[in-house]
Chains A and B, each alone.
Chain A
């Protein structure tokens, strides 16, 4: 019950924001803008999945941006040679591998997630730059840019891919044993161990998945930009946290869901979009986002209180 009511509150809030934007901001409602809004929202949500998954197990993955950069640069190197499928697979593999390393060090060697992923961020970014030597890899075959540029009816491919990935993730989290164990580990890792669950293995899988999704976002981005740079996703960890927080993923672990994440993505996208549509300087964006975060969390806080009362 409780979780549902909270979901509804958030849905309502987003509806209000959208309505307000629609009325107040010129050209907000136009088809082209909505499409581009949709695209930005889903890409943000996708980027945030990496951070959110680690948050679900009471961790935090600061290395997603760097991992995405490295994996997409390596992938790009293969793709420009025409090995599209191979490149994509390699990219995803590298991402998952990076995540695996994070997870293993955190779960098995008990490194604090902060130190591990923070250091990982440096290491991986460094490797990516060493590989590209600071020049971009560009000129992809259409068979690849298709991933970021083509449309399904009016819907841009990134939205389709993003929606598919998020939907799949939603199923995995709600309808599978892996999902349940993930929430359990986030709620109380020790209890999970003492209940005979493979908590450590779960944490490793979660971080690997987070790395995998990061590299997927990376691939979509380079397909859109039609070029891969080693400085891809510098701000992703912070953007991801913002989306996750607005989406109601709890830092304490074990709370939050994908629906919230998508809503968070929409809110972030709307804020940025409106700032540009209103012709305000970019600088207002950060301010509003910080503001929205507090606001979202306050709403959440109140509804949570309700939840307790409702017992």
Chain B
């Protein structure tokens, strides 16, 4: 055992000595960008992954997409630490929590690995740029649409995202802003279902028995909307359910008339833009703008009328980048 340890130490020293001279390559083939998203068990982030990979293909650079197996910011920090050791050329991070991720970004800064911040704004550390969708705006679109369709009066239930997650807070903020201007609308309950379909279904079941009169349910993402809509179907009640993210399943539900609408948060473009800007920064030293706002694929709520068209355009885009959609 002892003998082994001594050997190992020698070997370590040797390797470190060799590793001393690292040379920065400009050849795209050797450029390696890592995209760390929140969670890969959710279609929205899967599309963000596709976007990132497509941008990578365009520039001919290598892109690895990682995510923690547990929805906890510490696990993202762990991944970043490993990537730092791996000496990737840049990290694109989609923080589970904007504040929690800071120590991870700082570690990357210390190792002089450029970090690009995507989708959820990090509250500290140095990043070469931020790209993302304006979650508050998404909330506003959803809320405003609700106000308009309810003609300023009715009973409303809100399913929030994972409590404390900044995206959830911002989307909620957008919704409440618009609702303030519509005193006629009564918010019966506003509670979290953790962005999760199963959770949403259970919570909705209880809310349905608690409130005999509900006109509309606003959900901070489509997964929850889909869960809620099933609970409503089972309770043989009718009400409008609106989500955010515009994942294919939601679009189908809308066409079937089971969901009233959803707001596109354009995961693909977000992923694409982020990796694209990072690649340009690495290959052509183009400093990315401080903030890049990725437009929502559609500035309004997607409803029965335009759902089909939107879905088409999206699949077109995927085809263009050679992504085969199930």
Contacts and interface: CB of A to CB of B under 8 A. Distances in A.
A135 B205 contact: no
B201 A225 contact: yes
B41 interface: yes
A225 B41 CA distance: 16
A174 interface: no
Interface in A60-92: none
Interface string B187-213: 001011010111001110111111000
A273 B206 contact: yes
B185 interface: no
Given A33-B209, A36-B206, A279-B210, 20 more contacts: A27-B209, A30-B209, A36-B208, A39-B205, A134-B45, A134-B46, A135-B326, A136-B43, A149-B234, A224-B201, A224-B234, A225-B201, A227-B197, A227-B249, A231-B196, A272-B202, A276-B203, A279-B191, A281-B191, A282-B203
A129 interface: yes
Contacts of A133: 46
B209 A277 contact: yes
A156 B210 contact: no
Contact count band on A? 20 to 34
A225 B197 contact: yes
Contacts of B249: 136, 138-139, 227
Interface stretch (B225-233, B278-286, B307-315): B225-233
A276 B326 contact: no
Q: DSSP class of B's interface residues: helix, strand, loop or mixed?
A: helix
A21 to B, nearest CB: 13
Interface string A195-233: 000000000000000000000000001001111011110
Interface residues of B, number: 32
A230 B39 CA distance: 12
Contacts of A39: 205
A225 B199 CA distance: 11
Contacts of B210: 27, 276-277, 279
A139 B326 CA distance: 13
A232 B198 contact: yes
Contact of A134 (B43, B197, B203, B226): B43
B208 A32 contact: yes
B165 interface: no
A102 interface: no
B209 A135 contact: no
B206 A277 contact: yes
B149 interface: no
A40 interface: yes
B40 interface: yes
Given A129-B41, A225-B198, A282-B191, A36 B205 contact: yes
Nearest to B207: A276
Contacts of B235: 32, 36
A140 to B, nearest CB: 11
A227 B200 CA distance: 13
Contacts of B234: 149, 156, 224
Nearest to A43: B202
B42 interface: yes
A273 B207 CA distance: 9
A94 to B, nearest CB: 19
A273 B202 CA distance: 9
B252 interface: yes
A36 B191 contact: no
**6 nearest A-B pairs in the assembled complex, by CB-CB distance:** A276-B206, A33-B209, A231-B41, A134-B40, A134-B46, A36-B205
